[in-house]
Amino acid sequence: MSDVLIDHVRLLDPATGLDQMGALLVRHGKILDFGPALGRPDGVAVVDGEGAILCPGLVDMRVELGEPGGEFRETVASAALAASAGGITTVAALPDSKPAIDDPALVRLLRARGEETGRITVLPYGAATRGCRGEEMSEIGLLTEAGAVGFTDGARAIGSVRMMRMALSYAAAFGMKIIQHPEDPELAQGGAATQGELATRLGLPAIPAAAEAIMVARDIRLAQLTGGAVHFAHVSTGEALALIRQARDRGLQVTCDTAPPYFDLNETAIGAYRTFAKLSPPLRADSDRLAVVAGLADGTIDAIASDHQPRDADDKRLPFAQATPGGTGLATLLGVTLAQVQGGQISLMRAIEMLTCAPARLLGSTAGTLARGAAADLCLLDLDRVWQVNVGTLPGKAQNSPFDGRALEGRVIGTWKAGRRVFG
């Protein structure tokens, strides 16, 4: 592997507060040095960054990979292609596959599959319950030992109060988090859109927004009871965020993330039964979208995840109520997040923080920084590059983007994994 000098770049690293023009030197896959006045050692390949931003490779803490069992929708290899195009070098993989990741051998397999791509590090979540069915707890200790970075039932809420209490207690004993899909299963059952005027007008079975807050309130109380740590995924409502804010003020181990659809789109994106915009949780009223934007700005929301859920044509070419929820998100994660920077809602440093070092900390990973000696996982970003999301041309297998047709400003022009250029 040749040494690389990436020159004439704006070095941006929220983990250390670094923001300066300069260059970065990669040797043997690691960051050797960086600064405003680096020399050019002999035999080093030079990349002219032309003033673009060089930041850590993004860390995506919520990704459905398709493997095992859903390879017709996505594979680790095809997801890695999409991730590289989006500047993502580390992904946390959901365990609700077929079979579910409730066996230590499957945790090790997913990690190995990621390494085989040469493009991404895969950090698997372990299934909180066997088969992600919510009936019997998984072997949390053995899964932790095998390399699981947290425990969740993926897109399924852990609905049983008793089971959630046990999971929080056992996970805490190993220093691990429970990642919850915050939606009361009974209130959400059979629903397809957020309850309100639009769902009524379209004749769609509805899910009350309160289904999220009810689950959040329950699990905050259980975290207090057990001393465990709970992380709420893809939070989408103002009421839930208010509860999370209060819990954190009380010193409880409560964290959360959101995903781009919940701060960039609202329920009107489903239009006349547009199934690409059928997500779980469903898109909300604009008042909730604005509350999520506020949560990004004030620090209530810890991280932004793609919530990548690959679906194929057969999943989406159905009546809206029957279509499978989910949207692809790897290639659009950064671009849609940057729209909040361009709109003045959050700073560039805050946006990059929520995509790099913040999710890395939540996952217990050393990724997401430009520190000397760190792996050279890098993202080169042109803030002025304009592009359009066009379904059918996105990298990877999955094309089910709720952002189809969306014009974005800011695009990845280079991605490096362990010092090797894998995109651009």
- Distance, CA of 386 to CA of 110 (rounded, Å): 35
**What pLDDT, on a 0 to 100 scale, did the predictor assign at position 8?**
96
Q: Where are the domains of the chain?
A: 4-53+376-396+406-423, 54-363
- Same CATH topology for 4-53+376-396+406-423 and 54-363? no
Cβ atoms of 52 and 10 closer than 8 Å: yes
287 CB neighbour count, 10 Å cutoff: 11
- Distance, CA of 88 to CA of 350 (rounded, Å): 17
Residue 307 annotated to the active site = yes
Backbone φ and ψ for 65, nearest 5 degrees, come out as -95, -20
Strands (E), 220-377: 229-232, 254-258, 303-304
- Tokens 């789109």 locate to 265
Cβ atoms of 417 and 88 closer than 8 Å: no
* CA-closest candidate to residue 232, choices 311, 161, 136, 300: 300
Q: Say if domain 4-53+376-396+406-423 classifies as CATH 2.30.40.10.
A: yes
Domain formed by 54-363, architecture: Alpha-Beta Barrel (3.20)
For the chain (length 424 residues), average pLDDT per consecutive 10? 90 97 96 89 90 98 94 96 98 97 97 97 98 96 98 97 98 98 97 97 97 98 98 98 98 98 98 96 98 98 98 95 97 98 98 98 98 97 97 95 97 98 96
**What pLDDT, on a 0 to 100 scale, did the predictor assign at position 176?**
98
**What pLDDT, on a 0 to 100 scale, did the predictor assign at position 422?**
98
368 CB neighbour count, 10 Å cutoff: 28
Q: Give the pairing of strands 407-417 and 378-388.
A: antiparallel
Active-site annotation holder among 307, 315, 382, 404:
307
**What pLDDT, on a 0 to 100 scale, did the predictor assign at position 1?**
62
Q: Which residues contact 242 (CB under 8 A, 6 or more apart)?
A: none
* Bridge partner list, 206: 193
Backbone φ and ψ for 258, nearest 5 degrees, come out as -135, 180
pTM: 0.97
**What pLDDT, on a 0 to 100 scale, did the predictor assign at position 394?**
96
